[in-house]
Amino acid sequence: MTVRIVTVDRSRARGLGVRPLLTGLAITFQNMLRSLIGQHATIEFPEKKRNISGRYRGVHLLTVREDGTPKCVACYMCATVCPAECIYIEAGERPEERIEKYPTRSEIDLLRCVYCGFCVDACPEEAIFMSRENDLVGTSREELIIDRDRLVARGRLVDVGPGYRPEEHDVRRPVRIAALERLEREHGIVPGMPARSG
């Protein structure tokens, strides 16, 4: 690997910095004058929110079936692919033999999450999406470990709208092909299975 070296010449004095100071003040005054005619540079957050991309990777949500139960089948693909190891799942048995499995626990530690969206890419059931919610606050660490029911309840939140989600996703295609190949192609990352020794 070649290392790019940037040499900065600091031997020459840079002056008193009056010119950059004036440039900055000019921008400030420009914005002040614009705001007088209603062109604000800032918004009144949190009452108003910026219009962010529909593919924004914010706080996760779990999608649901028609009966309101999570669509997730606890396959652990998201937990496997997660680079921050922030997803914890426990599986249980569902009575329907065509579904069989569901998460009895599904927690995401939002403090560890790096919002990469790999979990969304890896999901074979379109069960995990991300929302556009980005103003995440809490008063304790525990509060920001978001459990299954909160992840599901978020699915009904309409004010932020869904964020990153699979655009076209065919559930019948093997997961490894859809998600992992793309990761490898775009990021050179082969995530997932740890090497089994012996």
List interacting residues with another protein (CB under 8 A). Answer: 73-77, 80, 91-93, 97-101, 124-125, 172-177, 192-194, 196-198
Structure tokens at 13: 């004095």
Q: Give least dist CB 123 to another protein, A.
A: 9
Residue with Cβ nearer another protein (61 or 72): 72
Q: Give least dist CB 46 to another protein, A.
A: 38
Provide CB contacts within 8 A for 191, sequence distance 6+. Answer: 80, 81, 83, 118, 180, 183
Residue with Cβ nearer another protein (111 or 171): 171
**Strand 60-62 and strand 87-93: pairing?**
unpaired
DSSP three-state, residue 158: coil
Q: Give least dist CB 198 to another protein, A.
A: 6
Q: Give least dist CB 13 to another protein, A.
A: 59
Residue 130 near residue 59 (C-beta atoms within 8 A): yes
Q: Give least dist CB 75 to another protein, A.
A: 3
Residue with Cβ nearer another protein (100 or 143): 100
Residues composing the chain:
198
Residue with Cβ nearer another protein (16 or 193): 193
Q: Give least dist CB 119 to another protein, A.
A: 14
Alpha-carbon dihedral sign for residues 136, 140, 144, 149: negative
Residue with Cβ nearer another protein (76 or 115): 76
Whole-angstrom distance, CA of residue 90 vs CA of residue 75: 10
Q: How many Cα atoms within 13 Å fall on the side-chain side of residue 164?
A: 16
Whole-angstrom distance, CA of residue 144 vs CA of residue 109: 6
